[in-house]
Amino acid sequence: MKSKQQRLNNIIGQLEGIKKMLNSQADCLQILTQLKAAKSALSSLTTTIVEEQFDSCFPKLKKSDKKLLINLKKYVTTS
């Protein structure tokens, strides 16, 4: 399994590739496909970070604030 840093490096590489594609006026469908792949990779990384670090990031919140963030966590992990 790739580390979060490796996954982020892959996303950066994808974005750099998209930038080159845009500069060379590559086919629109190819660019959109790569954008979707980068978006999916970033979403997956976001979900991983939220799931792994949610409780440790917010241990001292008020109960009402924690409920709000729990709902946010559900939204992020199901989107």
Question: d(Cα 61, Cα 11) in Å, to the nearest integer?
Answer: 32
pLDDT digits (tens, 9 = 90+) for 26-79: 999 999 999 999 999 998 898 888 777 766 776 777 777 777 777 777 777 665
The predicted pLDDT at position 5 comes to 93
Residue 18 CB coordination number (10 Å): 19
**What is the domain-level CATH number for residue 51?**
1.20.58.1000
Question: d(Cα 32, Cα 20) in Å, to the nearest integer?
Answer: 13
55: burial class by Cβ within 10 Å (0-12, 13-18, 19+)? exposed
Question: d(Cα 17, Cα 49) in Å, to the nearest integer?
Answer: 24
Indicate yes or no: pTM above 0.75: no
Query: What is the number of structural domains in the chain?
Result: 1
Domain that holds residue 43: 4-78
Segment 10-33 mean pLDDT: 96
